[in-house]
Structure 1
């Protein structure tokens, strides 16, 4: 009996010694971001109660987050960011998987001593009173293989004390497992009060990670899809009336079609990397546009056959043209949704909007020219009728014919002429009819020569 008592006491002492010397488990997904978790003995034995968390990263990060579970959807998350007053804001949130995690006021999360934003570091020591279970699931506080996730975003500090402040989509994320039996501590108190960090040998077990940075994937997806939807597809549409041949148009659009699917594949991979579900506006709308675009090559082939047979456009031709125009517009709009989702800087928004506007003007001008040429070719002047001139020109009427001289009264004219008074210059016409002859001045009278002596 005594030996049994000593054995039990020895085991208890060893166990207590292990618990007393245990330290928080730690995992650092990058060189400068680390997460620690500690579970008090009382919480581990009852699978309920307090657990302690520490999140630390450089101040160059806009926010960092730790969560329980295997994916963001339904995860119990703890987000920290600078509050603008030398400390951090601890924000408990519920992961939704396709949108910004929602603030969850039901989580009993408390910021503890030792938390600060100083010397280029951001540190948050926290205590959670009910993290064994939440609306999206539960977790064993004494489990030897509990699942954890993390995410982070580089950029400007949020500087907000609001626990529900908006955050942009993360740049990268990680997942791993913690053996909480190795992170059990004896005291239900802040194990990070002195700024102590866990032993580097006491780390979590990392899950699989993609060697490619998700930010590179997201940027590649955005650039490739923007080039296809904003530049290549509109230019390919303008090639047809420019060259007047279907071959350059079909070749150009086929290459653009392949690039579209390549960009879509990169988008799917990047969304999986950042655990973005296909239920967001950008992803669901983009998937629909890409799938609908698969009908366009078939419509183009049917349009070509109809035109060859009839040498004119028909209903299938207009369906191909307008269906493509509608998809291009939707693709450009979805690109804007993607920029908003990624939270890109103002420079990217301006650049995208400018290029899209220029291409719209170019394509719009080509569209107007096409309509003009179509109307010009189809114009037929109306037939000319004799009645068209009525009211437009004056009616011509021949002038009245003059009388012939033979028809005049020649006798009276001659008599009148004979009775006319002859006017003589230098005479009074009134005295022309009197009997007294008129005095006529002699203009031919020669003057007498002056006497010869008058010159002396």
Structure 2
């Protein structure tokens, strides 16, 4: 388990280091994702090729994304199945809230890695666009730090057509966001999606060889580390003190949990930036508060230990360390549930998390009561003034 957590932590470091050498990605919902990559040469000259990827389950009739903040005057790229085991990528011009019209001027080329994969469950379009810096309705800087994009999708029967002007039904939902294209700069003017592992909506690998290409891998690593840290390690580490009475064991255990917490926080920070959640959810906001508050706990623990060694009894700082720690751990456990909700996790994972957290919490309460009982027994017997 520790080796897996260490690997996940190192992955976060690698991602932050290589962030400017990979496509940027946004997943407006859990099973639809869009990526953009801009070669160095195109970014420098503000002209030339850019690379796009659209990925979605085949349960969607079509998915699309395009430039700008609204359909009107947008340069739109639409993907649907062609009925022959591949996908059709259709360049279209947005003209308002009506079906986008086929735009033959946009130079789109379907690249290697495109098609229907994962036993027919996933469709992927890897696309090169030769003139996406400008179009009849507007233009876009290929070196923009905040370029507006839109997306829309429709569930239902497959289009199954090679016609780039095929008729489509009105979208179910739509989304708008901004990409920092400077973070999507790649060195080579070639398909950046070849040899990269893709994921379906159940997070199962469907193609390629890279193991950390999708930010949902980072999200899973973040979730596992934080669940283990706040749901198991911190509560059990707290229980070690009243059960064993050995401060060095308690401190060492909690320090390990402390390090893992920051590794998990790093994974969460990187993945939230890559899918553009940032600090726009209760889970991410509360997560920052929890880890920040927990950063004070080792200092309180040290002050408590020094006070007890000197006075052989608990003081105000001792109770602050104990109750402050308990409060932050509870906040962390609650935030884990919010994280599962944000990730739209399956009910079985939510139930498993709740059961484990509940069992550990009951164990911790029992150990705390046992510790208090033993401390009062020792005090009554005159063995020592008190115990930590």
CA contact 1:224–1:260 (8 Å) conserved in 2? yes
Conserved? CA contact 1:282–1:341, under 8 Å: yes
After TM superposition, give the deviation of residue 373 of structure 1 in Å. Answer: 3.0
Query: 2-side partners of 1:283 and 1:62: how far apart?
Result: 33
Q: Which residue of 2 aligns with 1:110?
A: 99
Report how far residue 237 of structure 1 moved. 0.5
Aligned partners of 2:360, 2:137: CA distance in 1, in Å? 58
Q: Report what 2:346 is aligned to.
A: 345
- Pairwise CA RMSD: 5.0
**Corresponding residue for 1:297?**
298
Partner of 1:308: 309
Alignment of 1:300-379 (within 5 A): 300-377=301-378
Residues 99 and 170 in structure 2, CA contact (< 8 A), matched pair in contact too: no
- 1:203-244 deviation line (CA, Å, top 9, x unaligned): 99979x996311110100000110000000011101112221
Mapped partners of 1:76, 1:301: distance in 2: 60
1:61 to 1:240, Cα distance in 2 relative to 1, 3 A: farther
Unaligned 5+ residue runs, structure 1?
1-28, 36-54, 82-105, 114-118, 124-138, 168-172, 177-202, 381-456
Question: Which residue of the partner structure matches residue 231 of structure 1?
Answer: 232
The answer (yes or no) to whether the contact 1:61–1:152 under 8 Å persists in 2 is: no
Aligned counterparts of 2:329 and 2:356: Cα–Cα separation in 1: 14
Q: Structure 1 residues 60, 159: closer, same or farther in 2, change over 3 A?
A: closer
Deviation at 1:34, TM superposition (A): 9.3
Superposition deviation, residue 368 in structure 1: 2.2
**Matches of 1:65 and 1:284 in 2, distance apart?**
31
Helix, strand or coil at the partner of 1:258: helix
Q: How many residues align?
A: 254
Which one of the candidate residues 143, 150, 158 is aligned to 2:139?
Answer: 143
Do the aligned partners of residues 166 and 266 (structure 1) sit closer, same or farther apart at CA in structure 2, a change above 3 Å counting? Answer: same
Preserved CA contact (<8 Å) 2:294 2:328: yes
SS in 2 for 1:248: helix
Aligned to 2:6: none
Local SS of the residue matching 1:110? coil
Contact 2:243 2:367 (8 Å CA) reproduced: no
Distance 2:368 2:336 in 1: 23
- 1:33 & 1:320 partners in 2: Cα distance? 44
Larger Rg: 1
* Cα distance in structure 2, aligned partners of 1:162 and 1:313: 68
Aligned match of 1:89: none
State the distance in 1 between where 2:323 and 2:377 align.
21
Asked if the contact 1:221–1:267 (Cα under 8 Å) also holds between the matched residues in 2, the reply is: yes
Does the Cα contact within 8 Å between 2:152 and 2:171 map onto a contact in 1? no
- What is the TM-score with the length of structure 2 in the denominator? 0.53
Shift of residue 370, structure 1, vs aligned partner: 2.6
Aligned-partner SS, 2:139: coil
**Normalising to structure 1: TM-score of the pair?**
0.45
Task: Report matched runs for 1:75-154 at 5 Å.
Answer: 108-110=97-99, 141-143=137-139, 145=141
Task: Find the residue that maps to 1:66 and give its secondary structure.
Answer: strand
